[in-house]
Structure 1
Amino acid sequence: MSKKNIKTVSLDDLDSMEDRSRRDAPDGESLGPDFWKSAKIVYPEGSKERITVRFDRDVVRWFKAQGRGYQTRMNAVLRSYFEAQETGQRKP
């Protein structure tokens, strides 16, 4: 963004500005379970690190049997566990 497009305002100016959000706007339509069945996890590019890791053969077979993107699904399972541990919520 060029500097000519940037406007500087004070806190008083911000307080006096009209709130343009629409509190009366209807909620979006529910996506439903069919959408989530085929939804894909997408991570920002460059956020992954290439490593060498060893998993039990039956675990890898099971993930591969789920179809294309098995490594992404494995990462999602590990991320879920990681986040649960970080927040202190142990999931079975």
Structure 2
Amino acid sequence: MSKRLTDKEGEVRELTDQDVKQMRPMSDVLPADLQRTIRQQGQRGPQQAPTKVKTTMRLSPDVVDHFKAQGPGWQRRIDQALREYIREHG
């Protein structure tokens, strides 16, 4: 097994099962400040107490387009609209 992860042209080669077995946790090899930076960029920490239920539902394309057009947070806005509906019609 080659220790190098790149070939002569600098392309990353496919990882073998042995490569994966030799991998170590990021906490063993990276400084703490770099670990924090990596976690802040796209990784959520553990959720303390789940407050919502994960579900799948089908919505009309125009409804999804309307909420998505308002930018990030569209799923939260749909949740808020449904809560408002429940308050008004509950």
What's the TM-score bracket when you normalise by the shorter of the two chains? Answer: 0.3 to 0.5
- Would you tell me which structure has more helix in proportion to its own residues? 2
TM-score, length of structure 1 as denominator length: 0.43
| Structure of higher RCO (CA pairs closer than 8 Å, 6+ residues apart) | 1
